[in-house]
Structure 1
Amino acid sequence: MSHRRTALTGAAVTLSVLALASCGNVDAPPGSASGDGGVVITYNSPSEWGNYGEVLRAFTEETGVTAPNDPKNSGQALAALQAEKGSPVADVAYTGIAFGEQLVEAGVLQEYVPEGADQVPDELRDPDGAWTSVHTGTIAFIVNEDHLDGAPVPRGWDDLLDPAYEGKVGYLDPTQAAVGYSAATAVNVALGGDFDDWGPGLDYLNGLKDNGASTSAQTATAKVAQGEIPILIDTDFNGYKLRDEGANVSVVIPEEGSLQIPYIVGLVEGAPNEDNGRALLDFYFSERGQGLFAAGYMRPVIGEMPDELADKVLPPEEYERATTVDYVEQGQRQQEFIELYQDEVGF
């Protein structure tokens, strides 16, 4: 089958995303206040993702507003927002930037520029104020060195196809999770592809499949710590956090190249707790909020990574291999990629 295909219409995008599974459970953060200030519901804020557990706990401590964590991924969050459009449940949504255009086209976000967010570069926010990038990450290998069975730490994409890593590699489902789609974009670009040609990336992912790779719909860093997935293609910040928690992990930026990933937040159209939603978004872009994201090794969009944290991550020259792309086009091409992936790779 040809790897080139015309992007589908916005209606097809909507129907496809609605078909994605949606998890509706939210869990109150441990030790959170009882909600003297009410509640704010976020979609796609797993407590184990970066530092989201601590971010929402700190918001509750500061405001008295209960802010439960939510386990959805980006695709599930979009699907839920669309399904609930007539009677919204969530107040704030968080997704990878590739979903930004779909959120706007679906009409599930309202215009709101949080306090302080005017400092975010123009290319990292919606021109009409529907969403704003809150931090960035980079696609990396998170490698549990205790479960490689004598194999060396892989340094690049090509290494993962070696039989020495058979059954040891995992990545998030690129048809559902923003980080999975970003990983597919990263390897495609690194190996010479572009948005008009997904061939290099799809061929590579087929090679991973043949070598026993697994996919997960949800954040899978716990499986790395347990050795169930010794090598996870994920974000760098999740790897650094695992290391801080005591796991013997290395974070590797693939030598052939990688991708920077902005993550975005927005206020839900018709949010049932709209004032609390605005307050949470303001908190995200406050000095404390940006500092808490940085404490989870998420690179803040306002200011720099604190020196004490910068010393704990890979040196800047490693990140020079992580490129940027036209993120609007990446979002527009997502459905095209999903169709190709399902037809040619699939799990």
Structure 2
Amino acid sequence: MSHRHTVIPATATAAALALALTSCGNVAAPEGTATGDGEIVITYNSPTEWGNYGRVLSTFTERTGIQAPNDPKNSGQALAALQAEKGAPVADVAYTGIAFAEQLTDAEVLQDYIPEGADQVSDDLRDPDGAWTTVHTGTIAFIVNEDHLDGAPVPTGWEDLLEPEYEGLVGYLDPTQAAVGYSVATAANLALGGTLEDWGPGLDYLDGLKENGASTSAQTATAKVAQGEIPILIDTDFNGYKLRDEGADVSVVIPEEGSLQIPYIVGLVAGAPNEDNGRELLDFYFSEEGQGLFAAGYMRPVIGDLPEDVAERVLPDEDYERAVTIDYIEQGARQQEFIELYQDEVGF
């Protein structure tokens, strides 16, 4: 199952990426949105079921009276929408995986704003001019519904998922659209011997998953894990812990060969129609309460540590030592290269 991989220069423009993503669909504003009325703030890519985002935004509304609807886009769809709406912005705040940071700034869809408290975030996790700041991190993990494995054991590593006993049981988000999907591909590639300049091991692996019946989704798929439709979802650890707390019989597994930490970023949209509300929301994200709400959803805060009661309910530190950090800006610059290779050699 080997391929010859042609390395494509990582110089594709953000406009090219947006063109590739315009077919994603769902790039409209949240239903019922009104803009410019001073009583609402629109934040793209904030699904209710993603970590604790539903509670983060509802609490902000409770504190301020400003309506803050959740929005189901993924990172790629958010970028495409922001570019399409650049002449008449709809959103006030954007949230994406850090792999999209450079594309957002190159597209000039964000404006510089350093939220209150964000100066405590380490320099490598924020734009020097304030266009974006990491708000929390997660880790690529297997979310496993043990009730729907058809007798197979809980997998412990990447290679396990290629075994016949897991045929048709695995899913992950589309890596050409979703930041977490691209991070899954990056994690597998690095764990199996690849680099950001060599996608060969990862592409071979994802091709093997496809041959073993894996599925991809554009949107957050954790509900499908709870229902047993996707018994093994490769996603973020915090979504697995949340499902467990909601009563699903799931295990969270950091693959034994290695994994990847993922920073998630936020920024103020250039020309935001409710700019003051956008600033207030970003300030809330980095407040003690805001960071605590992200942490309550197992999304590791960038200011302070996981609260002790939360830390007691997650995997031990030695499991997380297998999750590496990388040059995330380079990861973002290599994204279009990866997308073209993936579409050519794997595809779905």
Tell me which interval the TM-score lies in, with the shorter structure as reference length. over 0.9
The answer to whether residue 44 in structure 2 is matched with residue 43 in structure 1 is: yes
Q: TM-score, normalised by structure 2?
A: 0.96
Deviations 1:36-55 (A, max 9, x none): 96000010000000000000
Does 2:73 match 1:66?
Answer: no
Q: What SS does the aligned partner of 1:135 have?
A: strand
Give the alignment of 1:13-52 within 5 angstroms. 13-26=17-30, 38-52=39-53
Give the Cα separation in 2 of the matches to 1:57 and 1:27: 16
Q: Distance in 1 between matches of 2:135 and 2:329?
A: 16
SS at match of 1:184: helix
Identity of aligned residues (%): 78
Letter in 2 for 1:9: A
Q: Distance in 2 between matches of 1:210 and 1:155?
A: 20
Residues 318 and 303 from structure 1, CA distance in 2 versus in 1: closer, same or farther, beyond 3 angstroms?
same
User: Which residue is equivalent to 1:89?
Assistant: 90
Shift of 1:296: 0.3
Match of 1:32 in 2: none
**Partners in 1 of 2:148 and 2:32 — Cα distance?**
33
CA-CA distance at 1:3 after TM superposition? 4.2
Aligned to 2:159: 158
Letter in 1 for 2:283: D
| 8 Å CA contact retained: 1:168, 1:213 | yes
Deviations along 1:272-315, one digit per CA (max 9) or x if unpaired, are: 00000000000000000000000000000000000000000000
Structure 1 window deviating more from structure 2 (16-25 vs 65-74): it is 16-25
Residue of structure 1 in register with 2:341 after alignment: 340
Q: Write the letter of the residue equivalent to 1:329.
A: E
1:258 aligned residue: 259
TM superposition score normalised by structure 1: 0.96
- Per the alignment, residue 107 of structure 1 pairs with 108
Verify the 8 A CA contact 2:37 2:274 in the aligned structure 1.
Answer: no
Deviations 1:300-332 (A, max 9, x none): 000000000000000000000000010000000
Paired amino acid for 1:125 = R
- Whole-angstrom CA distance in 2 between matches of 1:64 and 1:28: 17
Residue in 2 that maps onto 1:196: 197
- Give distance in 2, aligned partners of 1:55 and 1:40: 13
Q: 1:327 to 1:64 in 2, by over 3 A?
A: same
Alignment-mate amino acid for residue 55 of structure 2: E
1:208-264 CA-to-partner distances (Å, cap 9, x unmatched) read 000000000000000000000000000000000000000000000000000000000
Partners of 1:269 and 1:93 lie apart in 2 by: 10
Q: Distance in 2 between matches of 1:36 and 1:181?
A: 36
Q: Is the 8 A contact 2:18 2:79 kept in 1?
A: no
Aligned to 2:10: 7
1:196 Cα shift?
1.0
Contact 1:142 1:239 in 2 (8 A): yes
Q: Helix, strand or coil: the match of 1:303?
A: coil
Whole-angstrom CA distance in 1 between matches of 2:264 and 2:295: 13
- Structure 1 unaligned runs (5+)? 30-34
SS at structure 2 position matched to 1:90:
coil
Aligned residues: 342
Q: Take 2:32 and 2:236, find their aligned partners in 1: how far apart are those partners?
A: 25
Contact persistence 1:23–1:76 (CA under 8 A)? yes
Unaligned runs of 5+ in 2: none
